[in-house]
Amino acid sequence: MNFKKNILCIGAGYVGGPTMAMIAYKCPQYKITVVDINEDKIRAWNSESLPVYEPGLYEIVKKTRGKNLFFDTNIPKCIKESEIIFVSVNTPTKDYGVGAGQAADLQYWEKTARTIREYAESPKIVIEKSTLPVRTSLAMERILSSGKKNIAFEVLSNPEFLAEGTAIRDLENPDRVLIGSRETESGYIAREQLVEIYANWVPKEKILTTNLWSSELSKLAANAFLAQRISSINAISALCEKTEANIDEVATAIGMDARIGSKFLKASIGFGGSCFKKDIMNLVYLCRFYGLKEVAEYWEGVVRINEYQKERFTRNMLNAMFNTLAGKKICLFGFAFKANTGDTRETPSIFIAEKLIEERANIIITDPKALENAKNDLGHLNSHIEYMKDPYKAVQGCDAIALLTEWDIYKSLDYRRIFELMTKPSFIFDGRNILNHSELYEIGFNVFPIGKPPFTHFK
């Protein structure tokens, strides 16, 4: 079949895979190829067991794979054949040298730019899909244009706003698609080509075009604002616990103000995932770089509160359980950083598991999708940990349950049966405030929500 365009994506991860699957699904006239240096990942994308779990993803991949969606490892060949290249490689926080712990590690990004330059034989539009520091596209332009071949490259920024767990819904119905370009004739022409791809399913008024720097900065700023809301409500939850105010009631009351809005106001053990902390620290680094100390400190506070919330949760567990966890069995309900994903990058559960083991507790972890990742994350502690898919088996003989991921299944378990299986007194620490606390109390549990008075049977 003759395709209208050959589109390539370099990086077959949580963003590259689902994003390209959606483009392939919505645009049968384009041939979409996704490549990666990790051959196992490409093999998994070509199998029945995809490397990323997202509701609805498998169905879309099944409909398109082998028709207009291809996963490949021959990067040079695919670069040669494509007109448009998305770059969706990882951009983690640097853990060495200048900017360690804050700046983005751009080594994968830069390597990709050099690979494109090496193998390109015709003009290409290169699109930043990864989240990058402001003005990174300038570096991309410089690397691409420093080759001997004199090929025209146009660099665009098209940050991805999908949220893991709802990626397919977000990609199908995005709040907006953001496209940044150079404000030059060739920049506008390239931008129009990308607009044309999205316009196959996204209403035109939702496709926002800006200059390159606004687009790059908007992604960092959006993640910083989202994380800030979580830290704001979590900060108030700490005060609720001291004053007998109820965080859910407070959240409802403030969320009804149209200027504030009701979304993202759920108190919890804190945010995780590969992006929020990384992107805020990246923002902090940029602010420091430009001499904006006060601005850097302001955003750093969002991360500080997040660390505080995890620390507070484990300290509350220790206090509630008579100041000793040594030898006690604690079951963690959920390990993924949020529901509907198997992703455990930066999940608060890692910190909480480590702290509980430091207190000499024995841990049993259950999660519908994240057990394999949990085993890798906690490999160094595995002699203190058991992993069990079935929550009823996992709670056997436990002193406490700590609910860490808001999976729906945890709302509908038979807690009477669970209570019978546990050691007494039995505790539940609801790190997501999703359970029916008074019902659990009536069953016999001592219940500790976040930002609400506990329900205990102790005099």
Residues that bind ligand NAD (CB under 6 A): 10-16, 36-38, 41, 88-91, 108, 111-112, 130-131, 160, 162, 164, 274-275
CB-based contacts of 214, cutoff 8 Å, min separation 6: 180
Which H helix or E strand runs over 395? none
For the chain, percent helix, then strand, then coil, each to nearest 5?
Answer: 45, 15, 40
Tell me the C-alpha distance between 420 and 443, whole Å.
Answer: 10
Is residue 235 exposed (0-12), middle (13-18) or buried (19+ Cβ within 10 Å)?
middle
**In the complex, minimum distance from the CB of residue 425 to ligand NAD, in angstroms, rounded to a whole number:** 40
| Alpha helices, H only, 8-74 | 16-26, 39-45, 57-64
Give whichever of 223 and 433 is closer to ligand NAD, judged by the CB atom: 223
**In the complex, minimum distance from the CB of residue 401 to ligand NAD, in angstroms, rounded to a whole number:** 28
**Do 132 and 125 form a contact (C-beta atoms < 8 A)?**
no
**In the complex, minimum distance from the CB of residue 116 to ligand NAD, in angstroms, rounded to a whole number:** 10
Give whichever of 73 and 423 is closer to ligand NAD, judged by the CB atom: 73
Give whichever of 164 and 399 is closer to ligand NAD, judged by the CB atom: 164
Give whichever of 104 and 361 is closer to ligand NAD, judged by the CB atom: 104
**In the complex, minimum distance from the CB of residue 416 to ligand NAD, in angstroms, rounded to a whole number:** 37
**In the complex, minimum distance from the CB of residue 381 to ligand NAD, in angstroms, rounded to a whole number:** 23
**Do 153 and 111 form a contact (C-beta atoms < 8 A)?**
no
Task: Name the 3-class secondary structure at 450.
Answer: coil
Give whichever of 338 and 355 is closer to ligand NAD, judged by the CB atom: 338
Give whichever of 178 and 364 is closer to ligand NAD, judged by the CB atom: 178
**In the complex, minimum distance from the CB of residue 307 to ligand NAD, in angstroms, rounded to a whole number:** 20
Q: What is the DSSP string of 221-237?
A: HHHHHHHHHHHHHHHHH
**In the complex, minimum distance from the CB of residue 171 to ligand NAD, in angstroms, rounded to a whole number:** 11
Give whichever of 34 and 251 is closer to ligand NAD, judged by the CB atom: 34
Distances (CA, A) of 339 to 347, 368, 408: 11, 9, 8
Which H helix or E strand runs over 306? helix 293-320
CB-based contacts of 319, cutoff 8 Å, min separation 6: none
Which entry of 275, 287, 331, 398 is annotated as an active-site residue? 275
Tell me the C-alpha distance between 105 and 89, whole Å.
Answer: 11
Cα angle 415, 325, 268; round to 5: 55
**In the complex, minimum distance from the CB of residue 188 to ligand NAD, in angstroms, rounded to a whole number:** 25
Tell me the C-alpha distance between 283 and 286, whole Å.
Answer: 5
Tell me the C-alpha distance between 44 and 207, whole Å.
Answer: 32
Q: Which residue is nearest to ligand NAD (CB)?
A: 13
Give whichever of 38 and 456 is closer to ligand NAD, judged by the CB atom: 38
CB-based contacts of 316, cutoff 8 Å, min separation 6: 241, 429, 448
- 275 counts as catalytic: yes
**Do 309 and 378 form a contact (C-beta atoms < 8 A)?**
no
Q: Secondary structure of 189-210 in the HEC alphabet?
A: HHHHHHHHHHCCCCCHHHEEEE
Q: Which are the catalytic amino acids?
A: 275
